[in-house]
């Protein structure tokens, strides 16, 4: 059964995403609340994700066309690059990755929207007490306010926190479009999608709203930042959803676990394992540190939320590797001619296939130590 689920890099997450969507639809019917498509930067997700794919598609082929054929022949050059480097199969796998991400994300947002009806917050006092105990009678947010101040630092980490909503889809689009190894893009799409699923489960297991919403007085000192404005917006929207039966808004408040931490950690861990440029890895880990800091500083999450987010990230990256044939054991089996996952050749017919597409070859590049390396 497990072998059947992994014959194609997207088989596993495709089935799981459809099952997750079915759960969301079932809840929607039972609660008599229609499914909604949450909007973000660049509009709804069904507009945002294809637009990002098109942007990266253009970013990938236009420079190649100019380099091969010159600026004056760029239009003709684009056609030639598409004809020689792209196939419908490659477009199909990009679409599969976007659909998996989109389906799980929209389902996650809708299931999160049903929390007030199904699992109202009831564990904030417990996690707040745990934080107080872990920091020897202090609240971690108070310590950060005292050490870092509430001026320019607050503005900087606020920008880091809210930019996550834009940067993660951009990185997904980049891996799906710019990487010829289908299994690498599938791994990342699967890992990100698993975050939405596991995060939803954690919301229902331990429902909380986070310290900024449960104990708002502590965070009045950081008003006026992008993060505090977002908190106010979520609070107003949340009250409207709960109190107004005709509300068209989506409830967006949940504390345990921190998906900001889990998703950004997933990205950093994935970048590390696929060995992108060291400078980009350094930037990513720095961004992750700022994200973790912001979750506690602004009271979005308790420390235990962040720890749970780390665990979700680890499980998601490993699960994505397993589902797409990118674990070390699977690569060893592939090298011996017994691949667990069929990695398709998406190059045009007649071209020499990339190494990951050859029978028995590794599913992603290796360095001498056997670590997975991205092959663009």
DSSP codes joined into one string, 297-360: HTTS--HHHHHHHHHHHHHHHHHHHHHHT-SHHHHHHHHTT--SS-----SPTTSPPPGGGSTT
Do the Cβ atoms of 365 and 375 come closer than 8 Å? yes
- Please state at what angle helix 11-31 crosses helix 88-113, rounded to 10 degrees: 30
**Mean pLDDT score, 271-282:** 92
Q: Is the pLDDT of residue 357 over 50?
A: no
Of 38, 3, 5, 31, which is closest to residue 19 (Cα–Cα)? 5
**pTM beyond 0.85:** no
- How large a percentage of the chain has pLDDT more than 90? 35
Do the Cβ atoms of 308 and 202 come closer than 8 Å? yes
Do the Cβ atoms of 171 and 163 come closer than 8 Å? no
* Cα 286 off chain centre by: 17
- Pull the structure tokens for residue 307: 């720890």
> What's the confidence (pLDDT) of residue 51?
76
**Mean pLDDT score, 53-58:** 75
Q: How many helices (H) and strands (E) does the chain have?
A: 16, 4
Residue with tokens 């290796």: 366
Among 49-53, 78-82, 208-212, 369-373, the range scoring the smallest mean pLDDT is 369-373
- Pull the structure tokens for residue 294: 């912001």
**Mean pLDDT score, 217-222:** 79
> What's the confidence (pLDDT) of residue 117?
87
> What's the confidence (pLDDT) of residue 178?
76
User: Regarding predicted confidence, which is higher, 16 or 357?
Assistant: 16
- How large a percentage of the chain has pLDDT more than 70? 76
> Nearest 5 degrees, angle CA 212-CA 216-CA 220?
105
Count of residues making up the chain: 376
Q: What is the maximum span of the chain, computed from C-alpha positions, in angstroms?
A: 69
> What's the confidence (pLDDT) of residue 228?
65
- Pull the structure tokens for residue 300: 């979005």
Residues 260, 69: Cα–Cα separation, whole Å: 43
> What's the confidence (pLDDT) of residue 49?
65
* Tally of CB atoms within 10 A around 170: 12
CA distances from 76 to 59, 79, 248 (A): 16, 5, 47
Residues 63, 69: Cα–Cα separation, whole Å: 10
Residues 346, 332: Cα–Cα separation, whole Å: 22
Among 82-96, 241-255, 361-375, the range scoring the smallest mean pLDDT is 361-375
Three-state SS for 34? coil
CA distances from 60 to 31, 175, 186, 267 (A): 45, 11, 18, 21
Domain locations along the chain:
28-373
**Mean pLDDT score, 18-39:** 88
How far apart are the two ends of the chain, measured CA to CA in Å?
32
Element (H, E) at 365: strand 365-366
């Amino acid at each position: 059964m497990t072998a059947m689920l992994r014959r194609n890099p997207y088989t596993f997450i495709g089935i799981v995403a459809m099952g997750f969507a079915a759960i969301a639809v079932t809840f929607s019917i039972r609660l008599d609340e229609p499914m909604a498509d949450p909007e973000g930067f660049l509009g709804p997700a069904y507009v945002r994700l294809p637009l990002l794919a098109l942007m990266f598609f253009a970013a990938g082929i236009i420079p190649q066309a100019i380099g091969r054929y010159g600026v004056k022949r760029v239009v003709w050059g684009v056609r030639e690059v598409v004809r020689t480097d792209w196939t419908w199969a490659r477009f199909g796998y990009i679409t599969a990755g976007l659909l998996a991400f989109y389906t799980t994300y929209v389902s996650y947002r809708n299931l999160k929207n049903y929390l007030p009806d199904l699992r109202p917050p009831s564990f904030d006092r417990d996690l707040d007490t745990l934080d107080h105990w872990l920091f020897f009678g202090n609240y971690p947010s108070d310590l950060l306010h005292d050490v870092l101040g509430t001026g320019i630092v607050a503005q900087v980490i606020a920008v880091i926190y809210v930019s996550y909503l834009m940067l993660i889809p951009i990185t997904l689009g980049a891996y799906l479009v710019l990487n010829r190894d289908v299994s690498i893009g599938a791994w990342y799409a699967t890992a990100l999608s698993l975050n939405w699923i596991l995060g939803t489960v954690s919301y229902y297991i331990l429902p909380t709203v986070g310290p900024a919403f449960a104990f708002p007085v502590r965070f009045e000192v950081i008003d006026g930042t992008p993060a505090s404005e977002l908190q106010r917006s979520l609070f107003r929207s949340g009250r409207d959803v709960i109190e107004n039966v005709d509300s068209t808004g989506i409830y967006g408040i949940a504390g345990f676990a921190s998906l900001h931490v889990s998703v950004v950690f997933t990205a950093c861990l994935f970048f590390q394992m696929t060995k992108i440029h060291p400078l980009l890895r350094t930037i990513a880990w720095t961004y992750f540190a700022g994200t973790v800091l912001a979750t506690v500083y602004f009271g979005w999450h308790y420390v235990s939320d962040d720890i749970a987010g780390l665990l979700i990230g680890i499980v998601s990256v490993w699960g994505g590797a397993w589902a797409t044939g990118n674990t070390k054991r699977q690569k060893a089996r592939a090298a011996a001619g017994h691949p667990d996952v069929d990695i398709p050749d998406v190059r045009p017919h007649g071209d020499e296939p990339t190494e990951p597409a050859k029978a028995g070859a590794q599913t992603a590049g290796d360095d001498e130590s056997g670590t997975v390396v991205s092959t663009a």
